Chain A
């Protein structure tokens, strides 16, 4: 449905967006994942029509949207700071888009009630914006963006201002709601866990470009570049010499950087030839995150049970978990 073609947005002599290309299908949730400053918010603003691309095109189906002003695109955008209107109460905030659509009073009231119960805020209609907690404000912002039934909903780091416990709960709620409504959506975040949780597909962004796009398991198992792998939370990067060797052994056929995914890195009782020293062990909810040093290389993985620092362990690396990066 949404198609972004070769979009370039200049800023200060360089490009914040440099030939960005991607699509969002019907009812699909695409996550733009990347570190801050990679251009993901600019891409969102460009799709919304708040930034003008220097070149490239934006399509909705067969309709070109590049020149269409933001208020005529039929896209919704939820800002990181929620941007609730301070001079209107909760109900009036949600009602804003309906008022613009010139719906009748009764229809509007019904829709506002419907949305309030959708986001579990029944009875909040007359509350002042200033009296809301962070989580409540976020739900109001979500209800407000959904009210005029946007063709595409964009969410710009919606969880950034919330604490962790609240974040997990709201993420589940949003994900469930968007799927129930079959709402096409673009979700921007720098947090890979959030991305894996909500995404149908993840587009990894770096330096104003989309590095890679695919389902969460595809991009996680086969990251195309070091940046892409880092933004997914991978840590074990190893530089190989010209013959494709390193201190652990032969991991490739030529020089370059490889990733050892932690799912392919295990600690085994038998002798494997790869011995390492545990240099840190942090317990976290049932598993232990360990760092193991092999020569000059440091590898991270998680294990069941506990482990002591400076213990010597045997490592096993499965070939399928070694990914060559560009």
Chain B
């Protein structure tokens, strides 16, 4: 390889490294130096033992535990249904389970606020709004589908003949479940539970909107300290603690996922048709917990006075005095940021994926780990880190709009890599060798073989990055300094927090719009994945 080409490859390699280095690791380092600075180290310890912190930490942990426990309990019957039975609309049901995954948290919070208002639960004796129960419901809403999906598919892989054998030996159904099925499900249950636990631990928008001002978790407290009180030291201390907690959970998750890899000999049995009792019970449960908030959200968005109209949607172009820009302008910002974030994520994630697959082992592991880490850090910590670190020349980006798409790209890159890397790995080495023997230089092999084959996966990854960016709230809430650069979730947050019927209607309209955009993106992704599968099978 001549020196010029060597330089180009090195440049390409350092592009993603530089990106995460400057925009992720440098801010992380800044947080640590703020929190653990020599003079402040005593403050660090004294803060840890203070009463407010102990209250916050305690609340953070027990709400996460309770949310996780309830989610797991409610998800089990549905997972059983998906794993062991066939029923009409099963495919559709499984496709729909991806949507909550990218549904913006602010939209979900808005949906529950609409629900509470509709049924008079926002005040009086049965008040749910601004209680821990509201928080719990929203966390279940978000995670139920993910647990059903992951536990359900693991359950489907377990050999049902073991249960049949126990039945023949005369064991009662409950006994079979407890002694035979449950122990074998443990790895999947533990893995799913830890994912849900991390989600609830780092939940931000939901806690802020539904929990109310008196209920702070570590996550919301970082935001309050940094944005409202301007106390960077305390916010940094909290961020370090949050980082540590999430890292421990990620390590536990990794450990559990490795154990999950043990799969029993798989048998293809025709699944029974589900009994009506099981089916109706599940549909009612999921319908109320997941479907109802969305239905009410849509109903509130088109409900004006006693009738229905699209007045709330047409009012999105108007600016309201409490919010510095109109909903429509905010949506435009969000779309622009999401496109930039998706392009950045596809570009950098694509290049990084290539080096992970074709670089030497050291390079590959380094990039794989280094680029995935932003996913393991809560969005609030990411946004906070960027807020406090990118404020000095030559990187004074605090007032620049580009900071928002950059933060979103950091969160999108892992998704791009998770879709592109397996595709690149599946390319038969003989294809690349053939191309090379037909005269293609290494860069031409990449251009004509790797790129076209991985293009669809790159598109799917970019679409994920787009959907994440559109709804991102945690990191974004730290970033835009100029009011006309607010994103749609930020404006929605302000609208939801403001009093008044007209604002509420517009908030619902904006929430529905965001939901439609993310849902459409997911449907596009699912459709594309499905198409790719058919191409592979006829090849």
Interface positions of A (Cβ within 8 A of B) = 48, 50, 69-77, 79, 81, 83, 85-87, 96-97, 99-101, 129-131, 144-145, 147-148
Chain A residues near B442 (CB-CB < 8 A): 71
Q: With A86-B453, A87-B453, A130-B538 as given contacts, are A100 and B437 in contact (CB-CB < 8 Å)?
A: no
CB < 8 Å: which of B434, B441, B452 contacts A83? B434
Is residue B444 contacting chain A, with contact meaning CB distance below 8 A? Answer: yes
Given A71-B439, A79-B433, A130-B539, 8 other A-B residues pairs in contact with their CB atoms under 8 A: A48-B433, A50-B436, A69-B441, A74-B439, A76-B438, A99-B448, A145-B437, A145-B438
Task: Give complex CA distance A51, B431 in Å.
Answer: 16
B264 smallest CB distance to A (angstroms): 32
Per CB-CB distance, the 6 closest pairs between chain A and chain B, nearest first, are A97-B438, A83-B430, A100-B439, A83-B434, A130-B538, A77-B437
Q: Please, which residue of chain A has its CB at the minimum distance from the CB of B435?
A: A96
- Is the CB–CB distance between A71 and B448 below 8 Å? no
Most interface-central of B433, B438, B449, B538 (chain A CB within 10 A)? B438
How many residues of B are counted as interface, with CB atoms below 8 angstroms from the partner's CB atoms?
Answer: 21
A203 smallest CB distance to B (angstroms): 21
- Is the CB–CB distance between B428 and A81 below 8 Å? yes
B381 smallest CB distance to A (angstroms): 41
Query: Total A-B residue pairs with C-beta atoms closer than 8 Å?
Result: 71
Q: Please, which residue of chain A has its CB at the minimum distance from the CB of B1?
A: A69
Interface positions of B (Cβ within 8 A of A) = 428, 430-431, 433-442, 444, 448-449, 452-453, 535, 538-539
Main SS of the interface on chain B? helix
- Is the CB–CB distance between B439 and A87 below 8 Å? no
- Is the CB–CB distance between A96 and B438 below 8 Å? yes
Chain A residues near B448 (CB-CB < 8 A): 96, 99
- Is the CB–CB distance between A75 and B437 below 8 Å? yes
- Is the CB–CB distance between B434 and A79 below 8 Å? yes
Main SS of the interface on chain A? mixed
- Is the CB–CB distance between A71 and B431 below 8 Å? no
5 contacts between A and B (CB under 8 A): A50-B433, A83-B430, A86-B453, A145-B437, A147-B438
Chain A residues near B438 (CB-CB < 8 A): 71, 76, 96-97, 100, 144-145, 147-148
A277 smallest CB distance to B (angstroms): 50
Task: Give complex CA distance A9, B255 in Å.
Answer: 40
Q: Please, which residue of chain B has its CB at the minimum distance from the CB of A141?
A: B434
B459 smallest CB distance to A (angstroms): 14
Q: Please, which residue of chain B has its CB at the minimum distance from the CB of A94?
A: B438
Chain B residues near A76 (CB-CB < 8 A): 437-438
B199 smallest CB distance to A (angstroms): 38
B429 smallest CB distance to A (angstroms): 9
Q: Please, which residue of chain A has its CB at the minimum distance from the CB of B452?
A: A87
Chain A residues near B435 (CB-CB < 8 A): 85, 96
Task: Give complex CA distance A72, B442 in Å.
Answer: 11
- Is the CB–CB distance between A71 and B430 below 8 Å? no
B390 smallest CB distance to A (angstroms): 41
Q: Please, which residue of chain A has its CB at the minimum distance from the CB of B536?
A: A86
Chain B residues near A50 (CB-CB < 8 A): 433, 436-437
B179 smallest CB distance to A (angstroms): 48
Chain A residues near B434 (CB-CB < 8 A): 77, 79, 83, 85, 144
Q: Please, which residue of chain B has its CB at the minimum distance from the CB of A147?
A: B438
Chain B residues near A69 (CB-CB < 8 A): 436, 441
- Is the CB–CB distance between A81 and B437 below 8 Å? no
- Is the CB–CB distance between B436 and A71 below 8 Å? yes
Task: Give complex CA distance A48, B433 in Å.
Answer: 10
A184 smallest CB distance to B (angstroms): 15
A41 smallest CB distance to B (angstroms): 11
- Is the CB–CB distance between A71 and B437 below 8 Å? yes
- Is the CB–CB distance between A79 and B430 below 8 Å? yes
Q: Please, which residue of chain B has its CB at the minimum distance from the CB of A74?
A: B439
- Is the CB–CB distance between B439 and A97 below 8 Å? yes
